[in-house]
Structure 1
Amino acid sequence: MTSRTATTFAPPVMEARRWAEGIPAEPPLLNVSQAAPVAPPPPPLLEAMADFVLNDPATHLYGPVLGLPELRAEVAMQSANRYGGQVSPAQVAITSGCNEAYTAALAALCGEGDEVILPLPWYFNHKMAHDMAGVTTVPLGPGPGLVPSPEEAAALITPRTRAIVLVTPNNPSGVEYPAATLRAFYELARDRGLKLIVDETYRDFHSGEGAPHDLFAGPDWDATLIHLYSFSKAYRLTGHRVGAMIAAEPFLAEVEKYLDTVTICPTQLGQKAALWGMRNLAQWLAGERLEILARRQAIEEGFPRLAAKGWQLLGCGAYFAYVAHPFDLPSNEIAPRLAREAGVLLLPGTMFMPKGHPEAARQLRIAFANLDVPAVATLFDRLDAFAP
């Protein structure tokens, strides 16, 4: 009998880290493999967290399974203000990171053999979650500009389909899905009795101004929409594992069963830090967004030197550039060699596509958010000089 974990692949980021073992310390490795801040939270937040640890005894205790009431209320209020529409605290759950929010939604939605439509290139942890839950992943091919097509998704729906998943800005491509595309997927899911899961982990680094969509408009949005978010990227709280889900209150009652058996409650320190950040760091976060946008601009402006050698920039946004390389070798061979020979650690497209997918062999993901603008120039120098 095959175990649940044996049905899926090894964690890709951990595999990539092994490629860097034994590489000389000089010149320094450019690690663009993982989409996570490497700096600690800003000093004011660190001071607040220290105060929670030292002076707030509740920081060290169990809390409500669905999260601190104050944080749920803040998420509801700010979400309503950001997107328009009505969101109540009872429609918010706090989770131990956005990955747990996704697995909890999956557990509450799906049974053995049910299907979930997942656009390509996919976020590999979503695929892993499906495998371990006995859920069939139905790949939705990328459309022009790596934006999925609602019409193509409609043709994939079967009686076993339970949800369609969208990640925007996308991981791994960085592409920001247009509001009209999100609305069309929402209407498709609503009309076919499905859930639309929208993961906006990277929304704080969206290039557009204003609300990225209007999916919370209307009184019955929660009959269709399940919205996921992460505090990790916004406030550099990756190690504290704090995420959020916004969905219908009866659905969250099912989610609560899952969360209670996995983590019992999210970390109190992480939740208090997220709440403090939401209330006090808006201006700081706006500056972080501008810095990420500057790095994105550096990627776009520097890419023509690679394009002249046959590289293609397929998508760029938030933390990511998704590219096609010009070499005869497949990306899962190119990526380890880039680490050893060029000092660039990145992930191959084979980690974001079904096994054997013809486009995966040429694709690579660059998570550039931790490179400042001069380091982006160094990245291009190394990629330009690479000749396998």
Structure 2
Amino acid sequence: MDRVQSPLIPLVGKLIQNNPGTISLGQGVVNYPPPEQAIASLQSFLAESNNHLYQGVTGIEPLKAVIQAKLATDNQIEINHQNSIVVTAGSNMAFMNAMLAITKAGDEIILNTPYYFNHEMAIAIANCYPVLVSTTKDYQLDIKALSQAITPKTKAIVTISPNNPTGAVYSADSLQGVNDLCRDRGIYHISDEAYEYFTYDGAKHYSPGSFPHSEAHTISLFSLSKAYGFASWRIGYMVIPQHLLMPIEKVQDTNLICPPVVSQYAAMGALKTGIVYCQQHLPQITRVREIVGNQLRSIPHLCQVSSASGAFYFFLKINTKLDDLKLVKQLVKQYRVAVIPGSTFGIENGCYLRVAYGSLQPSTAKLGIERLVIGLQDICS
């Protein structure tokens, strides 16, 4: 546990709490609630007394049937004898399940940098080691560098598309390249797709689990937290090779026994509304994205903003020699605006900040990003 970094989100949350009036551009959540159908489905849960007892380790069958239909329609992933669905308490748990199922102490997992910090933390908790591979200047995958990073101890390459923290969206060719590399080298491709519906400017999301002959080495992770405003309900799911089902059942039965059944009923209601529920909220998120992006691009002498065609993040390179965490604290205390330091995402050279905009109304986004720009101008000029 000494090797596991402390989570920065609670730390920044404490800073916000101690500085009332702070606008958070920190945590990655959306500003809309779950669909009405999700709440209505709770009546079905309450109507059946057996629902208060333990249920299936990998999820209740009615929910898995809904997920199977969603995967076929939205992801072009077919569930057959070669793979299985496992419902989890969020996609973070799905990633932890995968780590414990496919590794032994001392193994290596390849992460593209900047990485999602909870992935790096889970690898360390499993007593394994992250191998960090740089992405391109636009935060796209470097297939050659990934290939060169594989060793006899490598168990998987992790991709996140759309990406947290950069907002990058990977092309089908790029993801196919990683998937083929994993197949050829006898390792797993772990694909985190929590932001699958959040794309802009014509960008398209692709699921590696849909590629031909990918079932035996692809682990796909999904979440309801973002698309359905479901963060606290803690429901996600994973599609795994069939040969991993028993190891993951062992992990999940020990850690959770079964996914929370009340949340699974809510998830059934949410998933039945389909992608259209998220899509009806995307225009407002797109407007907020434009407000934030335009303000950030107005100060090119202070920060570099890479193209971000997915998720709801901008990853900024700040032109300063200041420590990123020190800058974050100063922005909260003096300018009442909160962001996340880039070092928590594995960036050690330079000062980087992640700006999250998914939870903001346009008026709040305008005020928050104005505070950030003024703060950067005052501190870093």
TM-score under structure 1 length normalisation: 0.91
| Structure 1: distance between partners of 2:48 and 2:268 | 15
Question: Does residue 1:358 correspond to 2:344, yes or no?
Answer: no
Letter in 1 for 2:16: A
Indicate the residue corresponding to 1:385 in structure 2. Answer: 374
Question: Does residue 1:9 correspond to 2:18, yes or no?
Answer: no
The Cα offsets for residues 206-258 of structure 1, whole Å up to 9 and x where unpaired, read as: 2347652464132x321121000001112122111111100112212211100
Indicate the residue corresponding to 1:349 in structure 2. Answer: 342
Question: Does residue 1:74 correspond to 2:66, yes or no?
Answer: yes
The Cα offsets for residues 69-114 of structure 1, whole Å up to 9 and x where unpaired, read as: 1211222222122233522496111011101100000111100100
State the Cα distance separating 1:42 from its structure 2 match.
3.4
Contact 1:73–1:88 (Cα < 8 Å) also in 2: no
Indicate the residue corresponding to 2:174 in structure 1. Answer: 181
State the Cα distance separating 1:15 from its structure 2 match.
1.4
Indicate the percent of aligned positions where both proteins have the same amino acid. 26
Letter in 1 for 2:10: M
SS in 1 for 2:73: helix
The Cα offsets for residues 136-183 of structure 1, whole Å up to 9 and x where unpaired, read as: 110011213011201100001100000000011111111111111101
Alignment of 1:74-93 (within 5 A): 74-88=66-80, 91-93=84-86
Could you list the runs of 5+ residues in structure 2 that have no partner in the other structure?
A: none
The Cα offsets for residues 303-347 of structure 1, whole Å up to 9 and x where unpaired, read as: 32222x421113433121111223331211100111111111111
Q: 2:360 aligns with which of 371, 375, 378?
A: 371
Question: Does residue 1:212 correspond to 2:206, yes or no?
Answer: yes
Contact 1:52–1:59 (Cα < 8 Å) also in 2: no
Contact 1:118–1:140 (Cα < 8 Å) also in 2: yes
Relative distance call for 1:194 and 1:368 in structure 2 (3 A) is same
Question: Does residue 1:266 correspond to 2:272, yes or no?
Answer: no
SS in 1 for 2:18: coil
Letter in 2 for 1:82: D
Q: 2:125 aligns with which of 120, 132, 148?
A: 132
State the Cα distance separating 1:204 from its structure 2 match.
1.6
Relative distance call for 1:353 and 1:211 in structure 2 (3 A) is closer
Indicate the residue corresponding to 1:116 in structure 2. Answer: 109
| Structure 2: distance between partners of 1:100 and 1:215 | 19
Contact 1:237–1:270 (Cα < 8 Å) also in 2: no
Question: Does residue 1:202 correspond to 2:195, yes or no?
Answer: yes
Q: How many residues align?
A: 374
State the Cα distance separating 1:299 from its structure 2 match.
2.5
Letter in 2 for 1:18: K
State the Cα distance separating 1:264 from its structure 2 match.
0.4
Indicate the residue corresponding to 1:228 in structure 2. Answer: 221
Could you list the runs of 5+ residues in structure 1 that have no partner in the other structure?
A: none
Alignment of 1:313-324 (within 5 A): 313-316=305-308, 317-324=310-317
Letter in 2 for 1:250: H
TM-score under structure 2 length normalisation: 0.92
| Structure 2: distance between partners of 1:322 and 1:246 | 29
Contact 1:95–1:242 (Cα < 8 Å) also in 2: yes
Contact 2:12–2:338 (Cα < 8 Å) also in 1: yes
Q: 1:253 aligns with which of 241, 246, 249?
A: 246
| Structure 1: distance between partners of 2:258 and 2:230 | 17
State the Cα distance separating 1:281 from its structure 2 match.
4.7
Relative distance call for 1:85 and 1:243 in structure 2 (3 A) is closer
Relative distance call for 1:209 and 1:111 in structure 2 (3 A) is same
SS in 1 for 2:54: coil
Contact 2:113–2:135 (Cα < 8 Å) also in 1: yes
SS in 1 for 2:194: coil
Q: 2:282 aligns with which of 276, 289, 300?
A: 289
Alignment of 1:9-28 (within 5 A): 9-23=5-19, 25=20, 28=21
CA RMSD of aligned residues (A): 1.9
Indicate the residue corresponding to 1:338 in structure 2. Answer: 331
Letter in 2 for 1:330: D
